[in-house]
């Protein structure tokens, strides 16, 4: 691995390794698989050449590398702060600021918003070097690591507890779930998803009539979950039919946090990605952006521009921390007495876990993350000359 090269590229990050982790491996792989369904063939070919240079293929899977960034954190401790972002003033559910007057926790640039922007910049440089036949082995290795980080960071950005610093993103917030003592982060990281996988309708164990979905499944335990997300959520008439276009859109005037955010490379596009209905048309809309925008432009905001806007995308996800994620029972003040052996709030109840299930909260967050990841990867890697000719 080329740690020093990428370390410098990501601005010399901290050596402290927090205990905060994002979606479990399954959650990250689900987001990556949703993204892969929507990748333009030329984008996937280029991605495969980066990830598997010794065995290039036009049909690799990106899901196996989606959790890589968590696995290497014990060796790459400098990367830890890039998995999350938090504000000094943020204390859900009673106070939600993103950020407040105190700004972000940690050092400048060292959060998931800056991480998304920085690794995207590294990959833009790689694309330009490839176009100019200036690549080297070290450049390819740097791009491989940046791509793995990008897939992971966009997943982390869609996990609400990665957007607040309270109790280390919920790791220090003890709760009970189905009678088991756990913490809020672990509940959202894996337990809610595990419960959902166990209770899926049996009909989703069989293929659905969406070939673009079926050919990108790998026989994983979560395949039925992905089928349901597409069949009931993403296709025309699905739960999110009328809102997916907004997932792929950045404000015409990039949003600026109320306090200074990480400054990093910004690449202006000027056009948003449209949503037109079916799974196939969604995929084509996700790649249509490639032929319309340059890959470089004017820096307009510390992390956001009109094409890739991690702050604007993350802000409403952060709000879920106040609206849903943090139960009011956890809002003891710092001066309030705590019982020696507290009865932790039980969250496997209709008012909490039942609401998350009924409102499809996890499914929507993962679908949103997958669609946005596909949009960014297509913008980076799809061949503009081929986009208009592609019929899925």
pLDDT digits (tens, 9 = 90+) for 216-258: 999 999 999 999 999 999 998 999 988 888 899 999 888 877 5
> Residue 329: its pLDDT value, please?
87
Q: Which of 38, 46, 61, 70 is catalytic?
A: 70
The whole-model pTM stands at 0.84
Whether 152 is catalytic is yes
Where b means 16+ CB within 10 Å and e means fewer, 35-72 reads: bbbbbbebbbbbbbbbbeeeeeeeebbbbebbbbbbeb
The residues that bridge with 346 in the sheet, in sequence order, are 176
- In order of 92, 191, 310, the CA distances from 372 in angstroms are 26, 24, 10
User: Cα–Cα distance between 161 and 321 in angstroms, integer?
Assistant: 7
Phi, psi of 176 (to 5 degrees): -120, 140
Q: Which domains does the chain possess? A: 3-330+342-383 (1.10.575.10)
> Residue 107: its pLDDT value, please?
84
Q: What angle do CA 368, 371, 372 make, to 5 degrees?
A: 85
Whether 140 is catalytic is no
Contact 183, 171 (CB under 8 A): yes
Q: Which of 28, 38, 40, 196 is catalytic?
A: 28
Q: What angle do CA 338, 105, 74 make, to 5 degrees?
A: 90
Q: Which of 46, 91, 156, 268 is catalytic?
A: 156
Q: Which of 61, 162, 227, 228 is catalytic?
A: 162
> Residue 331: its pLDDT value, please?
81
Q: Which of 61, 83, 227, 372 is catalytic?
A: 83
> How many CA atoms lie less than 13 Å away from 213 in the CB half-sphere?
25
Whether 70 is catalytic is yes
Q: What is the pLDDT along the chain (392 residues), one digit of tens a residue?
A: 333 333 333 333 332 333 344 578 999 999 999 999 999 999 999 999 999 988 877 779 999 999 999 998 888 888 888 999 999 899 999 999 999 888 898 888 789 999 999 999 999 999 999 888 887 777 889 999 999 999 999 999 999 999 999 999 999 999 999 999 999 999 999 999 999 999 999 999 999 999 999 999 999 999 999 999 999 999 989 999 888 888 999 998 888 775 443 333 333 333 333 333 355 555 555 555 444 454 443 233 478 999 999 999 999 999 999 999 999 888 864 445 554 546 899 999 999 999 999 999 999 999 999 999 999 999 999 988 776 544 45
- In order of 65, 90, 102, 112, 353, the CA distances from 258 in angstroms are 35, 13, 10, 17, 33
Q: How many CB atoms lie within 10 A of CB 383?
A: 17
Whether 156 is catalytic is yes
> Residue 76: its pLDDT value, please?
82
Q: Which of 189, 268, 304, 305 is catalytic?
A: 189
Instruction: Let me know if 348 is exposed, middle or buried by CB neighbors in 10 A (0-12, 13-18, 19+).
Output: middle
Contact 36, 381 (CB under 8 A): no
Whether 83 is catalytic is yes
User: Cα–Cα distance between 155 and 22 in angstroms, integer?
Assistant: 8
Q: Give me the residue label for tokens 């979606």.
A: 23
Whether 78 is catalytic is no
> Residue 385: its pLDDT value, please?
72
Secondary structure class of 175 (helix, strand, coil) = strand
Q: Which of 46, 166, 185, 318 is catalytic?
A: 185
User: Cα–Cα distance between 83 and 23 in angstroms, integer?
Assistant: 11
> Residue 284: its pLDDT value, please?
56
Whether 158 is catalytic is no
Whether 90 is catalytic is no
> Residue 214: its pLDDT value, please?
98
Whether 73 is catalytic is yes
> Residue 334: its pLDDT value, please?
47
Q: Which of 23, 78, 313, 326 is catalytic?
A: 23
Handedness of CA 96, 102, 106, 110 (dihedral sign): positive
């Amino acid at each position: 691995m080329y740690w020093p090269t990428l370390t410098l590229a990501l601005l010399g990050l901290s050596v402290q390794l927090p205990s905060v982790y994002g979606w479990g491996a399954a959650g990250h792989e689900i987001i990556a698989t949703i993204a892969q369904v929507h990748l333009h063939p030329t984008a996937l070919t280029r991605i495969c050449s980066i990830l598997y240079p010794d065995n290039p293929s036009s049909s690799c899977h990106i899901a196996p590398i989606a959790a890589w960034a968590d696995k290497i954190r014990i060796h790459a401790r400098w990367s830890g702060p890039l998995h999350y972002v938090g504000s000094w003033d943020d204390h859900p559910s009673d106070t939600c600021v993103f950020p407040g007057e105190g700004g972000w926790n940690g050092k400048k640039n060292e959060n998931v918003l800056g991480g998304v922007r920085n690794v995207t910049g590294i990959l833009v440089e790689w694309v330009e070097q490839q176009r100019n036949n200036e690549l080297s082995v070290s450049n390819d290795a740097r791009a491989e690591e940046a791509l793995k980080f990008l897939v992971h960071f966009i997943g982390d950005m869609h996990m609400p507890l990665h957007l607040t610093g309270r109790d280390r993103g919920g790791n220090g917030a003890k709760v009970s779930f189905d009678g088991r003592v756990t913490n809020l982060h672990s509940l959202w990281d894996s337990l809610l998803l595990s419960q959902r996988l166990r209770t899926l309708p049996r009909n989703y164990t069989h293929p659905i009539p969406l070939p673009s979905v079926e050919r990108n499944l790998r026989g994983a335990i979560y395949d039925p979950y992905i089928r349901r997300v597409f069949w009931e959520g993403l296709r025309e008439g699905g739960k999110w039919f009328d809102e997916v276009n907004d997932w792929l859109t950045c404000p015409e005037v990039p949003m600026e946090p109320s306090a200074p955010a990480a400054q990093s490379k910004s690449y202006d596009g000027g056009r948003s990605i449209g949503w037109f209905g079916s799974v196939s048309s969604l995929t084509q809309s996700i790649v249509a952006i490639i032929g319309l925008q340059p890959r470089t432009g004017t820096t307009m905001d510390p992390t956001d521009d009109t094409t890739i806007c991690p702050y604007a995308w993350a802000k409403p996800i952060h709000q879920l921390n106040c609206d849903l994620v943090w139960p009011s029972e956890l809002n003891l003040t710092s001066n309030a007495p705590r019982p020696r052996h507290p009865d932790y709030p039980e969250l496997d109840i209709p008012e909490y876990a039942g609401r998350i299930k009924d409102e499809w909260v996890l499914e929507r967050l993962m679908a949103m993350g997958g669609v946005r990841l596909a949009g960014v990867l297509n913008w980076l890697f799809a061949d503009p000359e081929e986009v208009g000719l592609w019929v899925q």
